[in-house]
Amino acid sequence: MSLEKEISKRRTFAIISHPDAGKTTLTEKFLLFGGAIVTAGAVKSNKIRKAATSDFMEIEKQRGISVATSVMGFDYNGMRVNILDTPGHKDFAEDTYRTLTAVDSVILVVDCIKGVEEQTEKLMSVCRMRNTPVIIFINKLDREGKDPFDLLDELQEKLQIHVRPLTWPIGGGSSFQGVYNLYQKELNIFEPNKTGISENKAKIVDLADEKMTEFIGKMETEKLRDDVHLIEDLFEPFNEELYRDGLIAPVFFGSAINNFGIQELLETFLKIAPPPSSRECIERTVDAREPKFSGFVFKIHANLDPNHRDRIAFLKICSGKFERNKFYWHTRLNKKIRFSNPTSFMANEKTLIEEAYPGDVIGLYDNSVFKIGDTLSEGESLHFKGIPSFSPEIFKELENRDPFKTKQLEKGIQQLTEEGVAQLFTQQPGNRKIVGTVGELQFDVIKFRLEHEYGAKCDFRPLNYKNAYWVTGNTPAALQHFLRDRASLIAFDKEDRPVYLSESDWMLNMIKQSFSEIQFHSTSEFSETKVGLVKS
């Protein structure tokens, strides 16, 4: 099959949500439709449960299990579907943000009772950074939830994106009868069904059709007709191009646990979601159809078995064809490497692959040669954009508890931060090490792994910072002045870029007013034009 055909049949996406909205359930139902699993409950083990927050080893074990299910691929109606899994636990949100750099689109699950939640907003803001196309699935319609029009308002307001319903619920909670598909002009009758994959469809092209009342009763028929008129008044017809540009999000309603609205979500998704296209590099834009292979590492997962220190690097293929045992160029290390055991992931199975195409994610056994963001190519020096670090939310100073193991501690923290477990900032004088994470849990994980994998003992001293901002200046002199003046709040990230550690929004605003020639960036990726990255 030609490269172009391989690309056009691939859809690589992530299902994301605030914990408990139904991401795992929806993923599982997609896998059932795709025939990748045969029983419900198969991907449940992938979920990091709330009850386990204090038991981080259990969480690590579950993360171990999740390596196998990190990418779930299956074929459906001639298409190749790659679902990139993201951890449900909020302390691993950074893993999720990074995974979003590797997808071509996203399905965002929202609980109809709770509406837009904290994590929903954060995830959406990450999608907005790259204009990732988003489909919204409003879940749990079998339960009494918010009014659907209110939900649409809430989505537009809190997620800052235009929405367009493509299906519409008839009743809700105990009186939930089904959805009307505004896109296909089809009525879907709800029948609770937790295990099978059947859906009862009634082809009713014209809403004025009297047969409608036979299915949903007179009152609901009238309400549906009124609602649909209102929707047509309020919303422009669905525009696929605006969706693909990340400017409008189509909205579907359903009940994942009851398998309701899932098949039409999947099928519409496959029709409208974009295949892999082009991707920006610092040097140029890389088109997926270019014959030469290129790809980047967006995630690294450590092997939990202490006897096998190797890690798995997850590589997203951006252009051309990847082949096993062929030499590729590692841009950062400036050397050729070949891979004899690249793997692909099919639900719970890892399989050796001979070749892979744009949109695919492959696992490469890694003996510490990779960092997140590394690029492989056929010789060209490329640096893919859009793989930034985000500001951590919790900061602690790393304290060495065993001076005889300083080297081990340094190596360990270096490697763990390269894996993306946390971010490391260094402060001068004294080489003070500040570790930043999005959740408390990571500190337990780091401490445990430093001790068990590197033989180093450490403590973490809490620091009072709220956010880290990458700073640039209008001129190198302005930046130098700022870095010297505020030295006690400046640290350097792993690439030696200066960050300002902010204690509060109030302080940040004061500083912004005092230093008008300095720019503060909440991610590590920003326009390079004003960067004066000179270490003081």
Q: What is the distance between the alpha carbons of residues 292 and 102, in angstroms, rounded to a whole number?
A: 19
Does 19 bind ligand G4P (CB under 6 A)? Our answer is yes
CB nearer ligand G4P, residue 159 or residue 362: 159
Which phi and psi angles does 84 have, rounded to 5°?
A: -95, 120
CB nearer ligand G4P, residue 17 or residue 188: 17
CB of 13 to ligand G4P, least distance (A): 16
CB nearer ligand G4P, residue 194 or residue 338: 194
Does 188 bind ligand G4P (CB under 6 A)? Our answer is no
Does 531 bind ligand G4P (CB under 6 A)? Our answer is no
Tokens matching residue 341: 């055991």
CB nearer ligand G4P, residue 88 or residue 373: 88
Q: Please state, as a whole number, how many other Cβ atoms lie within 10 Å of the Cβ of residue 222.
A: 12
Q: Looking at 142, 199, 451, 493, which residue binds ligand G4P (CB under 6 A)?
A: 142
Which phi and psi angles does 280 have, rounded to 5°?
A: -75, 135
Q: Looking at 6, 10, 11, 22, which residue binds ligand G4P (CB under 6 A)?
A: 22
- Residues with Cβ within 8 Å of 496's Cβ and at least 6 positions away in sequence, in order, are 533, 535
Q: What is the distance between the alpha carbons of residues 25 and 254, in angstroms, rounded to a whole number?
A: 12
- Decide: residue 236, CB within 10 A, 0-12 exposed, 13-18 middle, 19+ buried: exposed
Q: What is the distance between the alpha carbons of residues 359 and 275, in angstroms, rounded to a whole number?
A: 8
Does 34 bind ligand G4P (CB under 6 A)? Our answer is no
Does 25 bind ligand G4P (CB under 6 A)? Our answer is yes
Tokens matching residue 280: 């920006």
Does 355 bind ligand G4P (CB under 6 A)? Our answer is no
CB nearer ligand G4P, residue 147 or residue 495: 147
- Residues with Cβ within 8 Å of 358's Cβ and at least 6 positions away in sequence, in order, are 6, 7, 10, 276, 288, 289, 317, 318, 319, 320
Omega within 30 of 0 (cis) for the link into 276: no
**Tokens 């014959």 label which residue?**
291
- Decide: residue 361, CB within 10 A, 0-12 exposed, 13-18 middle, 19+ buried: buried
CB of 349 to ligand G4P, least distance (A): 22
3-state secondary structure (DSSP) of residue 72:
strand
Does 139 bind ligand G4P (CB under 6 A)? Our answer is yes
Asked whether the beta carbons of 102 and 298 are under 8 A apart, the reply is yes
Q: What is the distance between the alpha carbons of residues 172 and 147, in angstroms, rounded to a whole number?
A: 9
Q: What is the distance between the alpha carbons of residues 272 and 288, in angstroms, rounded to a whole number?
A: 18
CB nearer ligand G4P, residue 20 or residue 410: 20
Q: Looking at 9, 10, 11, 47, which residue binds ligand G4P (CB under 6 A)?
A: 47
Does 10 bind ligand G4P (CB under 6 A)? Our answer is no
Does 58 bind ligand G4P (CB under 6 A)? Our answer is no
Does 502 bind ligand G4P (CB under 6 A)? Our answer is no
CB nearer ligand G4P, residue 199 or residue 419: 199
CB of 483 to ligand G4P, least distance (A): 42
CB nearer ligand G4P, residue 169 or residue 274: 169
Q: What angle do CA 55, 64, 424 make, to 5 degrees?
A: 75
Does 435 bind ligand G4P (CB under 6 A)? Our answer is no
CB nearer ligand G4P, residue 86 or residue 331: 86
Does 146 bind ligand G4P (CB under 6 A)? Our answer is no
CB of 124 to ligand G4P, least distance (A): 15
Q: Looking at 31, 151, 256, 424, which residue binds ligand G4P (CB under 6 A)?
A: 256
Site string (226-255) toward ligand G4P, x via CB under 6 A? -----------------------------x
Asked whether the beta carbons of 390 and 94 are under 8 A apart, the reply is yes
Does 7 bind ligand G4P (CB under 6 A)? Our answer is no
Q: What is the distance between the alpha carbons of residues 283 and 331, in angstroms, rounded to a whole number?
A: 12
Measured between alpha carbons, how far is residue 167 from residues 180, 228, 266 in Å? 5, 10, 13
Does 23 bind ligand G4P (CB under 6 A)? Our answer is yes
Measured between alpha carbons, how far is residue 468 from residues 432, 500, 501, 508 in Å? 16, 6, 5, 10
Does 21 bind ligand G4P (CB under 6 A)? Our answer is yes
Site string (258-297) toward ligand G4P, x via CB under 6 A? x---------------------------------------
CB nearer ligand G4P, residue 22 or residue 420: 22
Q: Which helix (H) or strand (E) holds 484?
A: helix 476-485
Q: Of the listed pieces 23-31, 245-253, 366-374, 377-385, which binds ligand G4P according to CB under 6 A?
A: 23-31
Query: Residue type at 416?
Result: L
CB of 82 to ligand G4P, least distance (A): 19
CB of 270 to ligand G4P, least distance (A): 21
CB nearer ligand G4P, residue 46 or residue 519: 46
CB of 261 to ligand G4P, least distance (A): 9
Restricting to residues 82-101, name those near ligand G4P by CB under 6 A: 88
Tokens matching residue 327: 């030499």
Q: Looking at 10, 11, 17, 92, which residue binds ligand G4P (CB under 6 A)?
A: 17
Residues forming contacts to ligand G4P in the complex (CB under 6 A) are: 17, 19-25, 47, 88, 139-140, 142-143, 255-258
